[in-house]
């Protein structure tokens, strides 16, 4: 593995992961995509049919499966670091775990109108902010680096990550 991206919904993990993969000529594994492919359902369908606990178990199993693959960028789901066993995996990773941050306002702007996320559907800025605040310590506990993406383009985030990687290799 090259690095792991973590962060709340709308923080840019998928977009940045894809851009970074192009730039570094490596593969990106997006945990949400893996879950949907394995289950042959959308995230909404998995939540509606089996419930969140089932989703979290599949997410955990696929995290373990994909955690130590060579040369890949792993984009996690917004809830991945919440489970203690997942957090342990992330903390023990030998590659940088990078937390993408966005303010509740920016998160809201990025997610509004999106109906693919069962836990964010129809929430306003303060409701999103409240969930994010509740999760904040779980995210930071797993992260080696934090990037605030509020005023950065995905390309600028990629540039910062490239710098992190260059220094990580030297260290
Ligand atoms: C979730 C985040 C989503 C997805 C699911 C639950 C969460 O991933 O895994 O809807 O609990 O924060 P993204 O962060 O990629 O949207």
d(CA 171, CA 165) in angstroms, rounded, equals 10
d(CA 33, CA 29) in angstroms, rounded, equals 8
Looking from the CA of residue 116, the nearest atom of ligand 1 is 10
Task: Outline where DSSP puts E strands in 76-158.
Answer: 97-101, 145-148
pLDDT tens over the chain, length 171 residues: 899 999 999 999 999 999 999 999 999 999 999 999 999 999 999 999 999 999 999 999 999 999 989 999 999 999 999 999 999 999 999 999 999 999 999 999 999 989 999 999 999 999 999 999 999 999 999 999 999 999 999 999 999 999 999 999 755
Residue 91 DSSP symbol: H
Pick from 4, 9, 15, 55 the residue to mutate for probing ligand 1's pocket: most ligand atoms within 8 Å of its CB. 9
d(CA 152, CA 160) in angstroms, rounded, equals 10
Ligand 1 centroid – CA 161 distance (Å): 22
Ligand 1 centroid – CA 171 distance (Å): 32
pTM comes to: 0.97
Token pair of 162 as six digits:
């490239």
Domains recognised in the chain with CATH numbers = 3-164 (3.40.50.300)
Q: If you search the block for the tokens 């730039």, which residue do you land on?
A: 23
- The closest residue, in CA terms, to atom 9 on ligand 1 is 77
Report the b/e string of 126-148 with b at 16+ CB within 10 A: eebbebbeebeebbeebbbbebe
């Amino acid at each position: 593995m090259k690095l792991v991206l973590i962060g709340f919904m709308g923080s840019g993990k998928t977009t940045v992961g894809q851009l970074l993969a192009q730039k570094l000529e490596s593969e990106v594994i997006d945990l949400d995509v893996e879950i949907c492919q394995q289950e042959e359902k959308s995230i909404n369908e998995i939540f509606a049919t089996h419930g969140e606990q089932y989703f979290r178990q599949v997410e955990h199993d696929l995290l373990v499966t994909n955690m130590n693959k060579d040369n890949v960028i792993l984009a996690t789901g917004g809830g991945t670091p919440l489970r203690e066993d997942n957090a342990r995996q992330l903390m023990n990773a030998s590659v940088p775990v990078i937390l993408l941050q966005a303010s509740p306002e920016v998160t809201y702007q990025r997610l509004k109108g999106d109906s693919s996320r069962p836990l964010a559907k129809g929430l306003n800025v303060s409701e999103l902010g409240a969930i994010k605040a509740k999760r904040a310590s779980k995210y930071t506990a797993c992260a080696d680096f934090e990037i605030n993406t509020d005023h950065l383009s995905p390309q600028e985030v990629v540039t910062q990550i490239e710098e992190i990687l260059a220094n990580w290799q030297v260290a």
